[in-house]
Structure 1
Amino acid sequence: MNWQEVKKIAKERLKPYCRVCPVCNGVVCSGEVPGMGGVGTGSSFRSNIEALNKYKLNLSAIHDVKQPDTSIEIFKQPLSLPVMAAPVTGSTYNMGGAVTEEIYAQEVIAGSLMAGTVGWTGDGADPLMYGSGIEAIKMNNGKGIPIIKPRAQDEIIKRIRQAEDAGAVAVGIDIDGAGLITMALKGQPVSPKSPKEIEEVVKSTKLPFILKGIMTVKEAEIAYNLGISAIVVSNHGGRVLDHTPGVADVLPEITEKLKGKITIIADGGVRSGADVLKLLALGADCVLIGRPVIIAVFGGGREALKLYFETIKNDLKQAMLLTGVGSVKNVSKDILRV
């Protein structure tokens, strides 16, 4: 199995929802929600790619780095690379259904573990979506992270209890899911949350709590003050609000204020190990990858996902070697040029 074969199979299985373009940049699929594109004009999806592409890497080969270290620890979990699989649901109405919700969740969790990292699972209009993720996490000794939509408080807490029962590594809310078209179409009530409401759900569990969908310094500071364990700087893949900036545009402002105080994860437009290194240089502790993970799973299941993560890891090592970065735990912004 190689990555080109995986992409070829995925292209057939994802028709017509995803074309598996040579470069996954949101151009061809603009406005296709449900589907794989960005909402409206698709500019928010494209902004993630464009924001990363603005940064260049300073080539450096006169240094002592021989064996770059890509390992980190997140939520007391050792990871072989600073990359995890983003939470994704909606196989039927976003991806065509060639892979079911249950199988998708199982392959993401198992494939991530095979690669030495952790998969995240999502929530959606059909109860099967969150439940599939919980079951997949249970099947793998709790080695997964379920993310819940910003539902009514009692509904969130009910799902937190399921995460606890599954022995999950952590749990969280994708707060930006308040604007998801697909949830609205299915009659599922989701909404923004007040600081008081967030504090209530954080205090309802002893699990590390994640708030995904942070795009401003102000909300990052609110999250920190509410006792959040980790934030994910993310515009939801450009799928909830048109005309947002890219993640790499806002990440430096957030990390300047909160680096070292709270775990900061970045999610948006990562397509290579070099992209991973750029986000680490901008202050992220770890990154999430979404759409390419979907392609891997649809194209070859857990084995293809393991292959994909290994490819990203090798690409990251090469980028580190040629920028003089010895460890992903300490990446200087000096390796970047705008």
Structure 2
Amino acid sequence: MTESSSWLNEPPGTEPPVIDVDALRRTYAGGFTAVNGISFSVARGEIFALLGTNGAGKTSTVELLEGLSRPSGGTVRVLGNDPYTRRAVVRPRVGVMLQEGGFPSDLTVAETVRMCAGCTSGARPTGEALELVGLGKRSGVRVKQLSGGEKRRLDLALALLGRPEVLFLDEPTTGLDAEGRRDTWELVGQLRDGGTTVLLTTHYLEEAETLADRLAIMHQGRIEVSGTPAEVTAARPARIRFLLPADVPAGRLPLSLRAAAEGRRVEIRTHQLQQDLGELLRWARESDVELEALDARSASLEEAFLEIAARSASAGPVETVGVR
């Protein structure tokens, strides 16, 4: 009988998720709960970003997905299998890029790849793997002579050796310069377009906004909000900021704008940016008031992240936006 999973109730013809997590928990010795009942799924050919502050539970979650530990509760399925009890089935179909690889320092780049290829079913040719990550011209260099960014590229090359169906990327662009980061984003996008399912953790919010089809933000072991980047940011208010002339009190502003003022500084938070900005500009024109340092912008993923990081996980219920 097929192992039970939340996708069994999906309509006929719906492809099951490649990664399926249901009420997952991980508690360490001493009673500390790092992962506290989270649920999410990732479809084939999708990039899913798992975000959170240090200690939020991201790494503990990814280790469970990789089958490195048995969950304390709940279930996790990767390619329809329990990655812990059926590791021998799952592992050949998965690529893993850890935060830090740890290579033999005296081997060359090519020797390192060939060594790992000997343990990988259907491994790519060494040259192909290195060209993918931009290390083709560094194949003869010893690992100890590589920069930090080049070592991250080598980590990625090894994760891609077996042409994985599922790719776990833990902080993949840490240590890379701007060009290297963009090259990695382009490669990850190409892998997704080719059908590879990608789950990544990152502290670079721009990276998540650029790459992720969907994301989840964790805090204290729970998922606080999830959805597409646009859905997560749209759920938060835009803001308008400006300075009033010294002789114009904030009390003259239209009451409908719900402005908050501190001296000359005024901030308006709104879910109808265009309408409220238009009303503000009409008032300023009709009142012959010049608004200095006027700045209007939609909410950003960074604002959503910082808002969640700043509050206690017990402050309110989990917010789920557009989750499949």
Task: Judge same fold: TM > 0.5, yes or no.
Answer: no
The structure with more strand, counted as a fraction of residues:
2
Q: Normalization by structure 1: what TM-score?
A: 0.32
**Looking at both structures, which has the greater relative contact order when contacts are Cα pairs under 8 Å and sequence separation is at least 6?**
1
The structure with more helix, counted as a fraction of residues:
1
Select the structure of larger CA radius of gyration. Answer: 2
